[in-house]
Amino acid sequence: MTETRLRTWSHSAAYSLTALVISVLALQNLRYGFYQLFYLALAMTALLLAGLVYTYFCRRHQLSAPGHLIILAGLNSGLVAAVLTMNAPGISHWAMPLLVLNLLILPLRQGLALCALLLLPVIAVTWLGNPVTDAVITSAGLLLLAAVTALYVWHYDHMTQSAQDLAITDPITGAHNARFLDETLQKEISRAIATGHPLSVISLSLDHHDQIRDLHGKRGLNRLLSQITRQLFETIRAGDSLYSLQDSEFFLILPFTPEEGLRVIAERIRRTIAERDWPETGKVSVSLGCTTRGNGDTSTELLRQRATNAMLEARKHGADSAWFTPGEPVRA
């Protein structure tokens, strides 16, 4: 299930459950003749149902739907106004479902800000109008509920971020994985077409990786690949991206880089790797296949294929070298 769909479900459930709780309060107050509280609960239920409908209509962009903030601000300020103007015992407890709703639906910072704006007047009125023990119990209950919910939401956000990072990261090298390559390359191609900026790519392969694996084992090879990754990250500039592929191969996307620049960076990478004494393996080298986006390169396959062919050509010409295959010149 995607994040957006999951949020649509959880927002719908949160609005529905809160609407159920508040409508039960409405019925109880009607039964006992507390008409002001009945109308308040009725208005809140209507707003909650509006939130439910809004959730359904914004199901495709749930993560950035701004209407939730407006609906929840309306609910919170309605309750604050009631707490300040009505002398109704027990009304401070109505804040409980709203605290949870704020934190479950809004981004954490917005949710916390709204909770603080709700809690301050509610706690102040509780302390002014109740015996100390009651005020302590109510305030502690409200604060505890807000803290536990905020902690849960923070933990969930953290887990989601980690899962997203894991899905696009190669576990051995820490570079992006092959799955993420095509997606990013297609975006960069579209951006280069739209802006007219040059785009270059490099297919990089560790020379003699079979022999290195035979000599140093799979773990030794993996350690070397992760050290090379760190070195590559130090060499390339911000905006470039690095992908780790199978068989000790890497791929680099270099936006805003023309052929002359590609030659500079490819040579720099080749030299830095060849000149370093690697901790376990000593000297190693890489073959680089380099190409720049040409006129016909509108999809990832052509560009990737040309870079791979150039890398194989570099290997044929002896290890530790770079081979350039230009794309068809881009017409203005």
Distance CA(102)–CA(119), nearest Å, equals 12
Residue 264 contacts ligand GTP per CB under 6 A: yes
Among 188, 207, 240, 320, binds ligand GTP (CB under 6 A): 240
Please state the closest distance from residue 293 (CB atom) to ligand GTP, in A. Answer: 13
Residue 265 contacts ligand GTP per CB under 6 A: yes
- Specify whether the CB–CB gap between 265 and 236 falls below 8 A: yes
**Where does this chain touch ligand GTP (CB under 6 A) — which range of 167-175, 235-243, 278-286, 302-310?**
235-243
Collapsed DSSP state (helix, strand, coil) of residue 10: helix
Q: What one-character-per-residue DSSP string does 152-196 give?
A: HHHHHHHHHHHHHHHHHB-TTT-SEEHHHHHHHHHHHHHHHHHH-
Residue 162 is which amino acid?
S
Please state the closest distance from residue 236 (CB atom) to ligand GTP, in A. Answer: 4
Q: Between residues 31 and 237, which has the closer beta carbon with respect to ligand GTP?
A: 237
DSSP state of 258: -
Residue 178 contacts ligand GTP per CB under 6 A: no
Please state the closest distance from residue 327 (CB atom) to ligand GTP, in A. Answer: 16
SS (H, E, C) 191-256: HHHHHCCCEEEEEEEECCHHHHHHHHHHHHHHHHHHHHHHHHHHHCCECEEEEECCCCEEEEEEEC
Residue 261 contacts ligand GTP per CB under 6 A: yes
Residue 310 contacts ligand GTP per CB under 6 A: no
Q: Which residue is nearest to ligand GTP (CB)?
A: 261
Interface residues toward ligand GTP, by CB under 6 A: 236-237, 240, 254, 257, 261, 264-265
